[in-house]
Structure 1
Amino acid sequence: MNLLETVFEWVVSTTIRASLVAAAILTIQMLLRPWMPAKWRHLLWLPLLLVMALPFVPALPVHIIPARPAVTASPAPVSAPAPEAAGEITTATTTNAVAPAPQEKLPLLPMLWLAGVLATMTAGITGYRSKLKAIRAHAVSPSPELQLEIEEAREAAGLSRAPLVWLSREVESPAVSGLLRPVLLLPAEFPATFTATESRLILLHEFSHIKRHDLAQNWLLFALQSLHWFNPVIWFAFSRVRLDRETACDARVLALDANDRRSDYGNALLKMQELPAVSGLRLGFLGIFENASGLRSRITDISRHRRSHP
């Protein structure tokens, strides 16, 4: 079995385990959701990521590729000595030519899987680089007033270093990007769209992504989803991971806000609904509004929020 087949069988074995773990997590969330804080709902997905990311987890005995029979050379038969004739002994020897081993061909399924992985990763990385280039080409610095709001929100969120800030017409809705050097991305019309209170809450949300290292998790999700592109259970589970991540950030924003402005935060999210969403599959970008289908769930959680330490 060649390296590609070995990796493919590990992925198939892992995807079966991961599907079972995802089903268990979803069941636990369904049963305990009313009593489970948003932060813990998101942390509950950690076992799934560990199962999928750690290559030394024992594999299930799954064999998708039939094992090829080993090709061995048959021993050369030795003929029995002929009866003595006229005092002479003759020894008959035969020579068996060893048949050449058949040339190995790569199986179809591993090749299709690899093509899907490369296509998914190429599309994600190319889209990220293209979008970031367009944003940077039209980026402008924030006004002094907005810069002051950003600095106050940064301090409240507990960030030790201020990220870069780009306002650009290529940014659809507020987001953060960059793994080693985070960048805050804001639409060009951001100051005119949101009130000062809404702006502060939105900035707290984006800075919470940075504080929680969600950008690194986003890259990990992209890599794992690329490896398991064929499994719809993983796609659904990761959509729930992203929703729970946003809900956890919402809870942190409300915990940081001393004035309990849940209604203002909900209004900000509703305004976001009118803006183009940042796709959860877009590599390298995390926005406050990624998925319209999860908006109702988030607003419900915001309305039920109980103050706690962030």
Structure 2
Amino acid sequence: MTGFDIALVRLLLAAAGSLAAGGAVWGVALLCRRYLPALAQHRSLWLLGQIAVAVVFAAMLLPTTQRLRVVPVIEMNEEAPSPMPAASASPQASATVTPAADLTPAAPALSWHTWLRDAARAWLLLYLLGLGHAVWRWRRAQRWLEALAASGSPLDAAAHVPLPDVIEVAAPISPMLQGLRKPRLLLPRHLRTFDPLQQQLIVEHELTHWRRHDLCWSVAAFALQSLFWFNPFMRLLRARLGWAQEFGCDRDVLRGRPPAERKAYAAALVAQFKLQLRPADMALAFGASDAGAHAPTLAARISLIRTPTTERRRWPRWLALASLTAVAVVSVALQPALGWRSAEVQDASAGAALALDCTVMVDAANGASLVREGTCGERVTPASTFKIAISLMGFDSGVLRDEHAPYLPYQESYASSNPSWRHGTDPAGWLRESIVWYSQQVTSQLGAGSVRNYVQSFEYGNRDIASVAGVDDAVAFSELSPTLRISALEQAAFLRKVVNRSLPLSAHAYDMTARLLKLDQPVNGWEVYGKTGTAAVRLPDGSEDQAQDIGWFVGWAVKDGRTVVFARLLQHPVEADLYAGRQTRDAFLRELAQRVL
């Protein structure tokens, strides 16, 4: 799949999430309508309900909400076909080929991805058609209203009172307020047959819409309904908003008026209902709304006119707002995140780095593969895991003597980039704190030729450790080597030789290295020996990814006389004061505590 297709799949998931959120919001609104009827007459409840659904939709598209999801991520892993190995005359240039046992049959995945891609593309087409239809309906309604206004004749209003333009039309419409930027009051000619008091109350109703800025609320609700045309709950919420706006105007117009005027107002509402045409979208009419143009709603409205509610307390509004906020948060939290890793997309992106996630576990005695998961054939820098090899070299050659010798004081010429390493240390502290400058002093005393010979005899990764122009040899022959690369599979192969003591090294080198690598606490009965490593991800252009690090944890574990070597490689977002190697170690130890080997 392309990046565009993946975005469409996420859009489809967000649309489904908005449907679920709409149902939850509508349920909360109905509860408010039943148990807090006065609150249901306020327009804010219904518009906030629409906004809550829109917020859920938008939040599901933001990557920052991934951490808020409590539902496990749906991983969509697409395997790309493995390339044929390129012929090479030297180990340094050899391509890494993932063994056949590490491959996953691609046909089912591709079939599933193809279906999902087609569904997402079809959804985009359907959505655009629906949105186009909504825009067409709005334009048609606007043209009808403009033609209606043009067919009428303006009426004079009081010069000293700021009012919208008033236009009288011959069509049997309901008195209505129309126009967002320049509102106009359209009055039907048949209104002249109404009682003067009724005429006054009807006009006051429409002017109350104008004063309350109800047209702005209606435009916002209509825009949200149009954008989410596929969500039936948005239409229901908008209809209830129109219902609440009419009740709000009824309440404001009739506040403090005697029963006789209330009765005249109700009679005018019934008379208008019998004469009118249904108003177009984006107009606020005295006798109708999306929810008010039906006899049952009209009867309820008249009932409230006769017996108005007096509930004015603020706590129901805060309760409703808190409920809608909770619905939005829970809807986001319960929607699954879509995690997609596509080798095709990664290879096609010039600045992208391959996401690394591998676990290898091998029986040290017979070499049987126990666990092999993820991208285990990819060669990357060994980072500080190369300290295992340096430790073996140092103790074998005598440069290192025991866990406390030699002790080397820190010198400013070492120019350590990490302030916490600027102190003297010994071999135990070197491996415990993973101090780079100490590694460089050990390899400097060993000499470039000796280090290179050891790496060749270890068959360590690509075995390419060499002097590099512009790079000090102390750096080039340490864990910071710009040329040395190793895969997780090769790490496991090297460590199996270490555990089986099949390398041409002294027993003292094996003993001291194992002693310094041992973790303090057993895990699920396993005595664990290991070393972490952290390094920046290298992009295809050779630059460092400032947002991603790779983390290594490699070593072996012993339990009941059985030894298992392991290599765990995991890519992490860069976090201050939290090294990727430590995160990888902690993740592996948690996995080890749950694995049955």
TM-score normalised by L of structure 1:
0.74
2:24 counterpart letter in structure 1: L
Matched, 1:128 2:141: yes
Match of 2:179 in 1: 178
Match of 2:82 in 1: 74
SS at match of 1:261: helix
Match of 1:215 in 2: 215
Asked if the contact 1:166/1:184 (under 8 Å) is kept, the reply is yes
2:283 counterpart letter in structure 1: F
In percent, how many aligned pairs have the same letter? 25
Matched, 1:138 2:141: no
SS at match of 1:74: coil
1:24 counterpart letter in structure 2: V
Q: For residues 20-39 of structure 1, what are the structure 2 equivalents within 5 Å?
A: 20-33=24-37, 36=38, 39=41
Asked if the contact 1:79/1:93 (under 8 Å) is kept, the reply is yes
Task: List runs of 5+ in structure 1 lacking aligned partners.
Answer: 82-88, 97-101, 156-160
Q: For residues 244-283 of structure 1, what are the structure 2 equivalents within 5 Å?
A: 244-255=244-255, 257=257, 261-279=261-279, 282-283=280-281
Asked if the contact 1:262/1:303 (under 8 Å) is kept, the reply is yes
Assess, with a 3 A threshold, how the Cα gap between structure 1 residues 180 and 133 changes in structure 2: closer, same or farther. closer
Asked if the contact 1:11/1:227 (under 8 Å) is kept, the reply is no
Which of 21, 28, 51 in structure 2 is aligned with 1:17?
Answer: 21
Match of 1:296 in 2: 299
Assess, with a 3 A threshold, how the Cα gap between structure 1 residues 307 and 200 changes in structure 2: closer, same or farther. farther
Distance 1:288 1:233 in 2: 25
| RMSD value, Cα | 3.8
1:296 counterpart letter in structure 2: A
1:255 counterpart letter in structure 2: R
SS at match of 2:284: strand
Higher-RCO chain (CA-CA 8 Å, sequence separation at least 6)? 1
Task: List runs of 5+ in structure 2 lacking aligned partners.
Answer: 61-67, 98-112, 313-597
1:176 counterpart letter in structure 2: L
Distance 1:242 1:133 in 2: 22
Distance 2:243 2:300 in 1: 9
Matched, 1:305 2:305: no
Match of 1:110 in 2: 124
Asked if the contact 2:33/2:39 (under 8 Å) is kept, the reply is no
Structure 1 residue 264: Cα displacement: 0.7
Structure 1 residue 68: Cα displacement: 6.7
Match of 1:188 in 2: 189
TM-score normalised by L of structure 2:
0.41
Asked if the contact 1:225/1:235 (under 8 Å) is kept, the reply is yes
Match of 1:285 in 2: 283
Distance 2:301 2:223 in 1: 26
2:175 counterpart letter in structure 1: P
Distance 1:239 1:39 in 2: 12
Assess, with a 3 A threshold, how the Cα gap between structure 1 residues 201 and 190 changes in structure 2: closer, same or farther. same
Greater share of residues in strand? 2
Match of 1:99 in 2: none
Structure 1 residue 292: Cα displacement: 2.4
Asked if the contact 1:176/1:287 (under 8 Å) is kept, the reply is yes
Deviations 1:259-310 (A, max 9, x none): 861101100101112122434xx3221101111231001001001026799x
Bigger shift: 249-258 or 5-14? 5-14
Assess, with a 3 A threshold, how the Cα gap between structure 1 residues 194 and 53 changes in structure 2: closer, same or farther. farther
